[in-house]
Structures are given as structure tokens and as C-alpha cells.
């Protein structure tokens, strides 16, 4: 059961207020818990915004199937492989199908939490940057998701099977187009977060084993496509948003850094920067020795 947006927003507010009130606490526990409470508040606020936006999406559900069919046609024009063919590789193997269903339903949020905790404790100097990149990426996905797009499994006339519903593993139930979050298929937050984690780990970690993290976006992409929860383009668009999000974060950091940088103070015998008149402090005459 997904946490209702109102509960998430309330918890985020309480955590944010608590972390601000306790920010001057000096105990060892407070130095750890207060920042964690603030970061949790940010994540829950984003989650609440996504859930609330889903309420708006469901009022426009009538266009969701048409948008899904449009994505299908674009993929055919781009000669992308059919998601149906990928799903048919999995359908004869019930255990693998159920594993893919579970991967789709469970892995993406815990993986993000584990990544953020790893980054916070192991690479604290890099945490703020990548936290901001993740927030921008998620926000960009939410904006695009305001346009309802039906996932492949809600268009069975194209040959897709709702594998999660078949095996009783659906996180959406039997409500069809009445269940709003599933209409936020474009872009895929699952794939976006997986690519984000992989790029951040490869960039930050010095370990030679860091390249193994590429298995995460690969498995995520396969799982969401094979279970007919997303189109190829859902993942492609989400991945394309990552470099844009990194650029927005870098530009914002640069702008804020310039705004906060103190003005240079002239020093004796040094020219004023910026091509201004060279004003030097006069030297005192040398005193004759005794």
C-alpha cells in the first residue's frame, strides 16, 4: 500500500520543522539524526508532490491510451525492438516472471535509499551535489508525468500481458485506468533513478568494482519492459533528463557561488583587480640605522 500524499506531506513537514529546531544541538546523536531528518523530509516532499499530481492525472485519463499508442507508433518509426517480443521471452517461465514483478514493485525505492545513505556516510562532500541532481531529475519527471500515458499492459490489443495482475502481484490492483500513478508512465522514474545511481557511483567511488553498478539500470530496464509496465521511450527520456539535471545543478551551484563570494580586498603593493587604476599604498621611508 502506497503512503497517501497527505500523510507523506505531514511527515515531511514534521521532520523539516524538527530538524530546523534542533539544528544547533551538539550531541553526537543530533549531529547524525538532524541532517538525516532533513534529507528524509525532502524525499517525502517529492513523493507527496508525485502522489498529488497523480490525482490530477487521473482526471485526464481519457487521453492516456491515445498517448500510449502514440508512443508505440513513434517507437516503430524509430525501429526500436518491440516490448511484446521482450515480454514473450519471459512469459514461459513463471518464476522469472514473478521475480521481475517483484523487482519492479520493490527494488527502486530501497535502492535509492541505500545509495543516499552510502553517499552521505562514505562520501559526504559529494552528497549535496548528487542529492540536488536527484531532486531536479525527479522534479523534471513529475512535470512530464502530468501528461497521462498508459503503460503497455493497459493496451492488451497490442499483445501485452499484465504479468503482475496475472500472478496477484500488482501494486495497482484491478482498477485499470482509474488507478492514477500507473498513468505516469512517461518518463520512467524506475529507470531514471537506476541510471542516476549508476552514474553517481561510477563518478564518486574510487573502487575498481564500481562498474558492477551498471547491472542495476540494465536489470531495471529489462524488468519494467518485460512486465509491460513501461515503454522503451519511457526509460530513454528518463535517462536523457539526467545530464540536463546535472547541468541545472552545476549552473545553479555556480550562480549561487558567485552571488555569495565576498568582494576582493586590495592588499598593499597589489593592483586592484578588474583593470581599475593601479593604486598602491605608499611605503614609509626607511629609517637610517643607528
Q: How confident is the model at residue 174 (pLDDT cuts 50, 70, 90)?
A: low
- Terminal CA-to-CA distance of the chain, rounded, Å? 91
Tell me, what's the pLDDT at 205?
A: 94
Torsion sign over Cα 132, 234, 165, 104: negative
More confident residue, 6 or 79: 79
How many Å apart are CA 45 and CA 11, to the nearest integer? 9
pLDDT per residue as tens digits for the range 242-277:
999 999 999 988 888 766 555 555 555 544 444 444
Tell me, what's the pLDDT at 257?
A: 76
pLDDT per residue as tens digits for the range 159-168:
999 998 888 8
Tell me, what's the pLDDT at 286?
A: 53
Angle subtended at Cα 63 by Cα 157 and Cα 182, rounded to the nearest 5 degrees = 75
**Cell 512535470, located at residue:** 143
Q: Are 217 and 191 in contact (CB under 8 A)?
A: yes
Tell me, what's the pLDDT at 22?
A: 84
Q: What is the mean pLDDT of residues 212-239?
A: 95
Would the pLDDT of 201 be above 90? yes
Which range scores top for mean pLDDT: 16-20, 172-176, 188-192? 188-192
Neighbour count for residue 10 (Cβ, 10 Å): 13
Tell me, what's the pLDDT at 27?
A: 83
Q: Are 160 and 137 in contact (CB under 8 A)?
A: no
What residues does each domain of the chain span?
A: 1-59, 62-257
Contacts of 262 (CB under 8 A, 6+ apart): none
Least confident residue range of 95-109, 130-144, 184-198, 263-277: 263-277
Amino acid at each position: 500500500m502506497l503512503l497517501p500524499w497527505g500523510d507523506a506531506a505531514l511527515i515531511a513537514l514534521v521532520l523539516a520543522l524538527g530538524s530546523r529546531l534542533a539544528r544547533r544541538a551538539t550531541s553526537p546523536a543530533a549531529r547524525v539524526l538532524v541532517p538525516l531528518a532533513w534529507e528524509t523530509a525532502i524525499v517525502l516532499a517529492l513523493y507527496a508532490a508525485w502522489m498529488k499530481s497523480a490525482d490530477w492525472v487521473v482526471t485526464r485519463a481519457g487521453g492516456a491510451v491515445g498517448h500510449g499508442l502514440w508512443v508505440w507508433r513513434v517507437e516503430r518509426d524509430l525501429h526500436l525492438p518491440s516490448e511484446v517480443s521482450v515480454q514473450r521471452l519471459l512469459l514461459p517461465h513463471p518464476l522469472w516472471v514473478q521475480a521481475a514483478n517483484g523487482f519492479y514493485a520493490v527494488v527502486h525505492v530501497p535502492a535509492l535509499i541505500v545509495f543516499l545513505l552510502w553517499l552521505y556516510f562514505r562520501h559526504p562532500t559529494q552528497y549535496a551535489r548528487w542529492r540536488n541532481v536527484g531532486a531536479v531529475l525527479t522534479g523534471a519527471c513529475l512535470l512530464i508525468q502530468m501528461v497521462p500515458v498508459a503503460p503497455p499492459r493497459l493496451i492488451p490489443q497490442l499483445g501485452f500481458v499484465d504479468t503482475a495482475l496475472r500472478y496477484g502481484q500488482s501494486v495497482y490492483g484491478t482498477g485499470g485506468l482509474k488507478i492514477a500513478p500507473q498513468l505516469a508512465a512517461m518518463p520512467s522514474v524506475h529507470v531514471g533513478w537506476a541510471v542516476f545511481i549508476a552514474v553517481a557511483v561510477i563518478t564518486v567511488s574510487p573502487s575498481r568494482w564500481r562498474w558492477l553498478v551498471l547491472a542495476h539500470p540494465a536489470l531495471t530496464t529489462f524488468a519494467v519492459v518485460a512486465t509491460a509496465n513501461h515503454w522503451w521511450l519511457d526509460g530513454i527520456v528518463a535517462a536523457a533528463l539526467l545530464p540536463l539535471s546535472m547541468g541545472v545543478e552545476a549552473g545553479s551551484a555556480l550562480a549561487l557561488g558567485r552571488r555569495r563570494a565576498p568582494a576582493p580586498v586590495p592588499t598593499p603593493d597589489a593592483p586592484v583587480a578588474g583593470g581599475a587604476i593601479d593604486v598602491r599604498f605608499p611605503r614609509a621611508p626607511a629609517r637610517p640605522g643607528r
